[in-house]
């Protein structure tokens, strides 16, 4: 696992210590802001904790709306900060079977268009629940990212929920899956938005871009 210096950790802290704001929600790729800076995006199954992780990154409680209702995020939600060299994109959750079929198809088209057509997209962080490990829907998305040659990195969320031995088992399983995917970064990140665990490492990773 990459070890960051205190200076790199501080650079990550400063990047997200800025006053980040929600800019807009985009239902079409044409609605996206100009490609004037790098972008990192967060993808994951519905209710995996994307909004909570964005809030933890930025130190804001309600920057990204959180909900116990899967499928709440239905747009590409854009977050920016003044003079920040990058923006954050919160993607619609996938794998939510109870959503109406037409809505799921619309989300899917939006996600595909964004991933394949956004030249400024530097990395997608694919969030996976640390209690369960990769599900079939996660593998499908990883295959699509491989096919689109989009760099992505796995982030295990809710790492405070399982027992230590259960988390270690999930980490081993996930590492084995990562090794089979060419566009996946070889190192996974492990986080807990609730406890703040791993947030500094994720910030430092993003700040490297």
Single out the residue of 96, 97, 147, 115 nearest to residue 42, CA to CA: 115
Q: What CA–CA distance (Å, rounded) separates 139 from 170?
A: 15
Q: Of 87-101, 127-141, 167-181, 188-202, which gets the smallest average pLDDT?
A: 87-101
Which two three-digit tokens encode residue 82? 């003044």
- pLDDT value at residue 66: 56
The 10s digit of each residue's pLDDT in 63-117 is 876 544 444 457 899 999 988 999 999 988 876 556 677 777 777 788 888 888 8
Burial call 67-81: b when 16+ CB within 10 Å, e when fewer: eeebbbbebbbbbbb
| Pairing status of strand 86-90 against strand 189-190 | unpaired
6-207 folds as Rossmann fold (3.40.50)
Domain ranges of the chain: 6-207
The 10s digit of each residue's pLDDT in 130-144 is 999 999 989 988 998
pTM of the predicted model as reported, rounded to 2 decimal places: 0.92
126 compared with 45, residue with greater pLDDT: 126
pLDDT-based confidence at residue 162 (cuts at 50, 70, 90): very high
- pLDDT value at residue 109: 82
- pLDDT value at residue 53: 95
Cα three-residue angle 191-197-203, rounded to 5 degrees: 75
- What totals of helices (H) and strands (E) does the chain contain, helices first? 6, 7
Q: Is 21 helix (H, G, I), strand (E, B) or coil?
A: strand
């Amino acid at each position: 696992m990459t070890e960051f210096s205190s200076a790199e950790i501080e650079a990550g802290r400063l990047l997200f210590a800025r006053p980040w704001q929600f800019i807009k929600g985009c239902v079409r790729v044409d609605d996206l802001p100009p490609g004037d800076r790098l972008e990192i995006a967060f993808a994951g199954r519905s209710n995996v904790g994307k909004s909570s992780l964005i809030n933890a990154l930025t130190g804001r409680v309600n920057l990204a709306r959180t909900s116990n209702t899967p499928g709440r995020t239905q747009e590409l939600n854009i977050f920016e900060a003044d003079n920040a060299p990058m923006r954050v994109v919160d993607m619609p959750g996938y794998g939510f079977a109870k959503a109406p079929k037409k809505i799921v198809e619309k989300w899917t088209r939006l996600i595909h268009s964004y991933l394949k057509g956004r030249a400024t997209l530097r990395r997608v962080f694919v969030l996976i629940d640390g209690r369960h490990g990769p599900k079939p829907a996660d593998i499908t998305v990883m295959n699509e990212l491989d096919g689109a040659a989009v760099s992505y990195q796995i982030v295990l969320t809710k790492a405070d929920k399982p027992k230590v031995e259960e988390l270690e088992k999930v980490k081993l399983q996930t590492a084995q899956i990562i090794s089979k995917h060419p566009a996946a970064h070889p190192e996974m990140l492990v986080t807990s938005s609730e406890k703040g665990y791993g947030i500094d490492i994720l910030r430092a990773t993003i700040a490297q871009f």
